[in-house]
């Protein structure tokens, strides 16, 4: 487990009661009253963690415990018992460190058997795989700081109690066919047509936002998603040798550059200036679109779908 997961900053919020919603109330945990929501650190100009994850801190410094939940954006297999056990057994790849248990038909978890030879400051003692009501998978990890790991049985007990307190909340993750709005700092609003089966993740930055729509499929299914970057420094370069498709998006003429980064993966991207100066170095607002599909036909369908992007008027009361 990488120690970078523990180099996290605490969000300035008040301590909460025992019942703590996780992942927009998709799950609820019973945790100590001093538990607080946190946020992973990122590089200064990098995107912040997305709304598909939740971090909770308990305690301070060397006594700290981290509870980290993450949407995996995949659907459970028909044989979830087999899938969960194989998923958790992967943590035993180098040595049989974890004992796997089933809490119920929807929650499986693994507990570390003994203390690590050398504490890292963020040692994983518990990991759970959860099948939510909609069939999508959530991973939850529990890590302990240095002062705890010399008492592995206490860490196991704490992690197991946390997993056993877990239950479904009222929150849901929308995967229906719909139209979403992306509001870029009240300067631009995009209306996004979303096909059936896609879930949204938003990663905000200091002066940009990146929104990803991922198709919920099983783990072994091909990659299928599209992304929308809005900001003044898109990571985009024109590709001279790729297939080119002329199209429109959000009322702008765009040129899609189509390519295949590896067998079975068909991608395309385009970039257009929405407002501001005429070059990438100035304070302009750009829209960078990315699609990744399992076939050329599905890639073309995604491009066709994004032709329906619309630029909406910013409500007068929201304008600066």
What are the tens digits of pLDDT across the range 54-73? 999 998 877 899 999 999 99
**Within this chain, do residues 188 and 91 fall inside the same structural domain, yes or no?**
no
**Within this chain, do residues 133 and 99 fall inside the same structural domain, yes or no?**
yes
Predicted confidence band of residue 157 (pLDDT cuts 50, 70, 90): very high
- Tell me how many domains the chain contains: 2
**Within this chain, do residues 241 and 219 fall inside the same structural domain, yes or no?**
yes
What is the model's pLDDT at position 53?
94
What are the tens digits of pLDDT across the range 281-307? 457 899 999 999 999 999 999 999 999
Percentage above 70 pLDDT, the chain:
87
Last residue of a domain, one of 125, 148, 168: 168
**Within this chain, do residues 126 and 254 fall inside the same structural domain, yes or no?**
no
Two structure tokens written together for 97? 């460190």
**Within this chain, do residues 111 and 213 fall inside the same structural domain, yes or no?**
no
What is the model's pLDDT at position 34?
87
**Within this chain, do residues 145 and 23 fall inside the same structural domain, yes or no?**
yes
Residue 278 predicted with pLDDT over 70? no
Specify if 173 maps to a domain: no
Average pLDDT, the chain: 87
**Within this chain, do residues 210 and 100 fall inside the same structural domain, yes or no?**
no
Predicted confidence band of residue 14 (pLDDT cuts 50, 70, 90): very low
Query: Domain containing 312 — which CATH number?
Result: 3.40.1000
Mean pLDDT to the nearest integer, 261-282: 80
**Within this chain, do residues 11 and 63 fall inside the same structural domain, yes or no?**
yes
**Within this chain, do residues 131 and 12 fall inside the same structural domain, yes or no?**
yes
Residue 142 predicted with pLDDT over 50? yes
Specify if 263 maps to a domain: yes
What are the tens digits of pLDDT across the range 80-137? 999 999 999 999 987 789 999 999 999 999 999 998 888 888 999 999 999 999 999 9
**Within this chain, do residues 147 and 231 fall inside the same structural domain, yes or no?**
no
**Within this chain, do residues 77 and 183 fall inside the same structural domain, yes or no?**
no
What is the model's pLDDT at position 49?
66
Whole domain around residue 158: which residue ranges?
A: 3-168
Global pTM reads: 0.87
What is the model's pLDDT at position 63?
85
Two structure tokens written together for 10? 């605490």
Mean pLDDT highest for which of 16-20, 30-34, 316-320? 30-34
């Amino acid at each position: 487990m990488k120690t970078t997961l523990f180099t996290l900053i605490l969000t300035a919020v008040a301590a909460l009661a025992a019942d703590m919603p996780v992942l927009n109330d998709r799950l609820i945990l019973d945790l100590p009253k001093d538990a607080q929501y946190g946020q992973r650190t990122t590089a200064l100009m990098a995107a912040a963690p997305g709304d598909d994850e939740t971090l909770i801190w308990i305690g301070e410094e060397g006594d700290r415990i981290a509870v980290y939940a993450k949407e995996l954006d995949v659907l459970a297999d028909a044989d979830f018992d087999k899938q969960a056990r194989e998923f958790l057994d992967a943590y035993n790849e180098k040595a049989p460190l974890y004992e796997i248990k089933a809490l119920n038909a929807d929650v499986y978890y693994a507990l570390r058997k003994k203390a690590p030879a050398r504490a890292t400051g963020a040692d994983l003692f518990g990991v759970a795989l959860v099948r939510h009501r909609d069939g999508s998978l959530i991973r939850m990890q529990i890590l302990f700081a240095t002062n705890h790991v010399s008492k592995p049985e206490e860490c196991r007990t704490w992690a197991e109690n946390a997993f056993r307190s877990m239950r479904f909340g009222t929150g849901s993750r929308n995967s229906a066919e719909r139209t979403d709005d992306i509001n870029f700092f009240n300067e631009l609003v995009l209306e996004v047509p979303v096909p059936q089966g896609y879930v949204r993740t938003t990663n905000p930055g200091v002066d940009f936002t990146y929104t990803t729509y991922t198709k919920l499929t099983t783990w072994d299914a091909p990659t299928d998603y599209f992304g929308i970057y809005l900001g003044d420094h898109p990571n985009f370069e024109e590709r001279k040798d790729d297939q080119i498709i002329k199209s429109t998006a959000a009322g702008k003429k765009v040129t899609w550059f189509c390519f295949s980064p590896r067998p079975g993966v068909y991608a395309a991207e385009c970039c257009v200036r929405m407002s501001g100066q005429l070059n990438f170095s100035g304070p302009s607002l750009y829209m960078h679109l990315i699609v990744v599909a399992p076939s050329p036909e599905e890639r073309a369908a995604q491009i066709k779908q994004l032709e329906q992007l619309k630029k909406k008027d910013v409500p007068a009361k929201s304008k600066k």
